[in-house]
Structure 1
Amino acid sequence: MTAVKIIKVLGTSEESWEDAAQAAVEEASQTVDDIHGVEVEDWTANVEGGAITSYKATVEIAFPVHESSGDA
């Protein structure tokens, strides 16, 4: 049986929510191996002067928990 760990990551972009979600995955992949899936939990944005200035995506990232090799 495979155990899966889920973490939340917040990505940001000045272009779009999609870019913000992609930024979250790219950042997480630098320290997390074998990312198998994501779920966008929340879309938010900063607004100034009546216009969106930055997009934010809260992303849940799923990856398998690997068994330790027993080398301590």
Structure 2
Amino acid sequence: MTAVKIVKVLGTSEESWQDAAEEAFRQANKTIDDISGIEIEDWTANVENDEIVEYHATAEVAFPVHDGEV
């Protein structure tokens, strides 16, 4: 049986929500080994002068717990 750890990561982009989600994954992948999946929990954005200026994607990143980890 494998235990899985889940952490939340916020990705941001000036381009799109998809780019924000991909940024969350890219940043998490720098420090987390063996990512097995991500779930986008929330999509939000900052608005200024009637325009979206920054997209946010909150992602839950799942990865296996290896021996010796908590």
- TM-score, with length taken from structure 1: 0.93
Give unmatched runs, 5+ long, in structure 2: none
Provide the alpha-carbon RMSD of the alignment.
0.5
Mapping 1:30-41, distance limit 5 Å: 30-41=30-41
Distance apart, 1:31 and its partner CA: 0.4
Taking every aligned residue pair, what percent have the same amino acid on both sides? Answer: 66
Distance apart, 1:53 and its partner CA: 0.2
Structure whose alpha-carbon radius of gyration is higher: 1
Question: Are 1:52 and 2:52 counterparts?
Answer: yes
- TM-score, with length taken from structure 2: 0.95
Stretches of 4+ moved more than 4 A in 1?
A: none
One-letter identity of the residue aligned with 1:44: T
Counterpart in the other structure of 1:28: 28
Report SS of the residue matched to 1:35: coil
Residues in 2 aligned to 1:21 and 1:66: alpha-carbon distance in whole angstroms: 26
Residues in 2 aligned to 1:50 and 1:41: alpha-carbon distance in whole angstroms: 25
Q: If each structure's helix is expressed as a fraction of its own residues, which one has the higher value?
A: 2
